[in-house]
A and B are shown apart, each in its own frame.
Chain A
Amino acid sequence: MSKKTWLGTVVTTVEGEGVESFINACTSQNIQFMNVERTSMTSVRAVILIEDVRKLRKIARKRGLVIRFLERDGMYLIKERSKKRFGFIIGIVAFCVALGLLSQLVWKVDIEGASPLVEQDVREWAEQEGLRIGQPQWRLAPEADIQQRVTEEVPGATWIGVEKIGTKYQFRVVEQHLAEEQEQLPPRHLIANKNGVIQQMYVENGRAVVKSNDVVQKGELLVSGLIGREGEETAIAAKGEVMAETWYQGTVEAPLQLSGTASTGETKNQYTFTWNDYSFVFWNKDAEVEYEQFHRETDQLTLPLGFVTVPLPIEKTTYEQRDTMTIEYSEEEAIEHAVSIGKNHLEQQLDNDAKIIAENILQTQTDNGKVKLSIHYQVVENIVQVAPIQQGD
């Protein structure tokens, strides 16, 4: 019935003769009255909408009634109050404007992946372009343009990526790497670090001493770092890869029977109220005796409230039912298991580029509920080891 009262209402007193007919006249002009009380024989007090005040005044003047306006309420009041607290409103507006403006400035120029020298160059270039802290972003060229130009204009970098992350400009530099490291290596030979049969050789620098299918012993020279005519050799750093077949032997054990505990999947939650030293179980009090075997975990419950998490004085204890399980393996399964264990074990010891090409079970022995295997592995791996050449030898 009452519409728009939230926009603003005002308490009004009307005094004079014929108050009732005044109300009727007002109602017929769509002025809404609320809480009309008679205060004396000739006066009433009522609440009306602020938007009706002007109409009401007009009618009252015609009829020679005296109206007075008292307390106001609603949105209108906020408007009125905001006039009084003008500075406050200005502050809010100024804050919003400042935030908006400041977020349009450059606040950070980050250079990533560059050596100090190139970083300095990029920084200087950015400075020159006006890409500095405090610079408004709208004055700058789009990132794609900056990226193209910086890549072209800064020497020493193959590619420079420019990305705008909020108020930060991120430069990702990919530098040119000149191949000069190899020259700095001291002269050296390559020798074998294991016995083996050479499978494949790749010599980058140096003179190969052995060839494919040669059997080498540990410590044998593979690639010599001395090149040139006999008698006037120069020492260089030999470099290369020698893949050779090597052999490993190991024993692995695997049990025929495996027992352990595992959860059955059934759980029960117990809730405890705790406050300082006082604690009281108020939910699932008998969870402890329900299961024969169980695993227990206690958590403090918290209440996440945006930025902070408030701990609640409630502890949740989860009881997980457990059961002892026994798995029996047949001998074949146990052997299979042992073989895979052995393989894993060996792979962990070997380099990444090593490959197990064959495995042979030499001996199988079953006793005490265990299978014991002795396995021989054939592996192809890089057997190169560096041996420096003593200058002046």
Chain B
Amino acid sequence: MSAISKKFRKLISKGMQIPIDVTLGLPRVTMIGQLHVYVENHQGILSFTPERVHLRLTDGELIVVGQNIIIKAILPEELILEGTIDEIKHV
């Protein structure tokens, strides 16, 4: 996403009071205890092991560390991880 486009979207988001994750395509990460991680607006899986899941985001990456992680479901824009989640890192 170019810098001008980004600025324009931010402006719209502010002016029209639309959540920024919608206009900018930013990820929304919801965690349910240690059990589930619910990621919206992901851009695909980079790597996937039971201990570590690496996701691509619009800008940056999301690393989820834990044990026995499985991908409960995956759709073009959303994804649910299940397992024992220890750590979520946005890089």
Q: Footprint of B on A, CB under 8 Å?
A: 1-2, 19-21, 23-24, 27-28, 30, 32-38, 44, 46
Contact = CB atoms under 8 A, between A and B. Distances in A.
Given A38-B48, A44-B48, A27 B72 contact: no
B72 A34 contact: yes
15 contacts: A20-B46, A20-B48, A23-B45, A24-B44, A30-B76, A32-B75, A33-B74, A34-B72, A35-B73, A36-B70, A36-B72, A37-B50, A37-B71, A38-B49, A46-B71
B47 interface: yes
B20 interface: no
Interface of A is mostly: mixed
Interface size bracket, B side: 10 to 19
Given A20-B45, A20-B48, A23-B45, A35 B76 contact: no
Interface string B17-46: 000000000000000000000000000111
B61 interface: no
A13 to B, nearest CB: 14
A1 B47 contact: no
Interface of B is mostly: strand
Interface string B43-71: 01111111000000000000000000011
B52 to A, nearest CB: 10
B88 to A, nearest CB: 18
A36 B47 CA distance: 12
A10 B46 CA distance: 24
A138 B50 CA distance: 70
Given A20-B46, A20-B47, A35 B70 contact: yes
A37 B73 CA distance: 11
Given A1-B75, A38-B48, 16 more contacts: A20-B48, A21-B44, A23-B45, A23-B48, A23-B71, A24-B44, A32-B73, A33-B74, A34-B73, A34-B74, A35-B70, A35-B71, A35-B72, A36-B70, A37-B71, A46-B71
